[in-house]
């Protein structure tokens, strides 16, 4: 099993101007401590279960561009870009640039979008039916793939169109595309048809069920299930023992705000083992309030069990 870090929070100390220095240091630390993945959210305001909407927040692709130039080995990704935030042809161009800067270390994580308040604040239309947003995402992935591979791209879709669009230089190798979400009827079917990786959340039993659904969609699409990287994302708050955990939860206010797994190293190791048994190949975790000790404990005490 491989391990990754996800960055959903930009609170690094009391000065918002230092947020990039904080995330840069974390990404650089991660690639020297055995992690293979570092992702950022592609939102413009904070989401509810992480923090208040008005807390400091940096746009994801801006950060990835900078991290591409200040890291050297770790894979970089959005988790995940909403299809509505950018014309997909433009997103293809942005992602191609980040792939070039990082020398091929980009994964494009994309999703159908869900945060209606964010859409309203920034003036995007929010289709209320999830099926519409998922169809938009599928069409966007097809267009992005065409932009990355065709000399010029003419695309006449229901939602997006291009005319003889040029994208040079092409990203080489072509960035993997990860579709985020676990919807069984439409999202996982889109993964089977179009994606190189999936990302699902939930307890191990639920994740195992979602992977079984994905396998059936792959069979229907005549796609090799094993060709799709299977990933899970969860939030951790860890300590070595119960007393240290209780003190940390109190200090960080986790009793009121934290949604994720809070436990000892031994408990987390057992949980991650269950994720591995469920079929997870890459476990991506965030740490509540950017708790550095949580990431350090995963690297020093947990990852060696899964090497």
Residues 154-202 have pLDDT tens digits of 999 999 999 999 999 999 999 999 999 999 999 999 999 999 999 999 9
In the chain, the percentage of residues whose pLDDT exceeds 90 is 95
Q: How far apart are CA 216 and CA 76, in angstroms?
A: 29
Q: How far apart are CA 13 and CA 15, in angstroms?
A: 6
pLDDT value of residue 259:
87
Contacts of 166 (CB under 8 A, 6+ apart): 151, 152
Strand, helix or coil for residue 262: strand
Peptide bond preceding 169 in cis form (omega within 30 of 0): yes
Residues 181-190 have pLDDT tens digits of 999 999 999 9
Neighbours of 122 (CB within 10 A): 11
Listed in sequence order, the DSSP H helices in 103-203 are 116-122, 130-149, 187-194
pLDDT value of residue 254:
84
Neighbours of 61 (CB within 10 A): 19
Q: How far apart are CA 140 and CA 160, in angstroms?
A: 7
Which of 55, 82, 20 lies closest to 289 in space, CA to CA? 55
* Residue bearing tokens 């992480």: 50
pLDDT value of residue 144:
98
Token pair in block for residue 160: 């997006």
Q: How far apart are CA 203 and CA 212, in angstroms?
A: 14
Q: Residue 65: is its pLDDT beyond 90?
A: yes
Domains of the chain: 2-306 (3.20.20.30)
pLDDT value of residue 48:
85
Q: How far apart are CA 171 and CA 239, in angstroms?
A: 41
Neighbours of 212 (CB within 10 A): 14
pLDDT value of residue 257:
75
Token pair in block for residue 76: 């970089």
Which of 26, 20, 107, 23 lies closest to 294 in space, CA to CA? 26
What is the dihedral sign for C-alpha 210, 216, 221, 226? positive
Q: What is the DSSP letter of 249?
A: H
**For residues 206-214, average pLDDT:** 98
Residues 268-304 have pLDDT tens digits of 999 999 999 999 999 999 999 999 999 999 999 999 9
E strand residue ranges, the chain: 2-7, 37-42, 75-82, 106-111, 152-156, 161-166, 177-180, 197-200, 229-239, 261-264, 282-287
pTM assigned to the model: 0.96
pLDDT value of residue 106:
98
Is residue 128 exposed (0-12), middle (13-18) or buried (19+ Cβ within 10 Å)?
Answer: exposed
Strand, helix or coil for residue 20: helix
Token pair in block for residue 200: 């699902």
* Residue bearing tokens 């708790």: 291
């Amino acid at each position: 099993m491989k391990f990754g870090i996800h960055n959903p929070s930009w609170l690094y100390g009391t000065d918002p101007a230092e947020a990039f220095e904080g995330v840069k240091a974390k990404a650089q630390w991660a690639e020297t401590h055995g992690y293979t993945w570092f992702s950022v959210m592609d939102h413009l305001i904070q989401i509810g279960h992480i923090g208040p909407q008005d807390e400091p927040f940096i746009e994801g692709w801006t950060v990835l561009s900078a991290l591409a130039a200040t890291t050297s080995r770790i894979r970089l990704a959005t988790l995940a870009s909403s299809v509505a935030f950018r014309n997909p042809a433009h997103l293809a161009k942005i992602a191609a640039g980040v792939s070039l800067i990082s020398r091929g270390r980009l994964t494009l994580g994309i999703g159908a979008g869900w945060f209606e308040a964010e859409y309203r604040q920034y003036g995007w239309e929010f289709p209320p039916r999830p099926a519409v947003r998922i169809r938009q995402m599928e069409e966007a992935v097809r267009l992005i793939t065409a932009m990355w591979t065709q000399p010029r791209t003419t695309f006449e879709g229901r939602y997006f169109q291009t005319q003889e669009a040029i994208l040079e230089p092409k990203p080489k190798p072509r960035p993997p595309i990860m579709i985020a979400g676990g919807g069984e009827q439409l999202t996982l079917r889109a993964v089977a048809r179009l994606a190189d990786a999936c990302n699902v959340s939930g307890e191990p039993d639920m994740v195992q069920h979602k992977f079984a659904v994905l396998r059936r969609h792959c069979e229907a699409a005549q796609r090799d299930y094993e060709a799709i990287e299977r990933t899970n994302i969860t939030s951790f708050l860890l300590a070595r023992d119960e007393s240290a955990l209780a003190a940390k939860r109190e200090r960080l206010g986790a009793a009121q705000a934290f949604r994720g797994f809070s436990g000892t190293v031994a408990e987390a190791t057992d949980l991650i083992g269950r994720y591995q048994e469920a079929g997870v190949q890459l476990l991506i975790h965030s740490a509540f309030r950017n708790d550095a000790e949580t990431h350090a404990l995963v690297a020093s005490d947990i990852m060696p069990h899964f090497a």
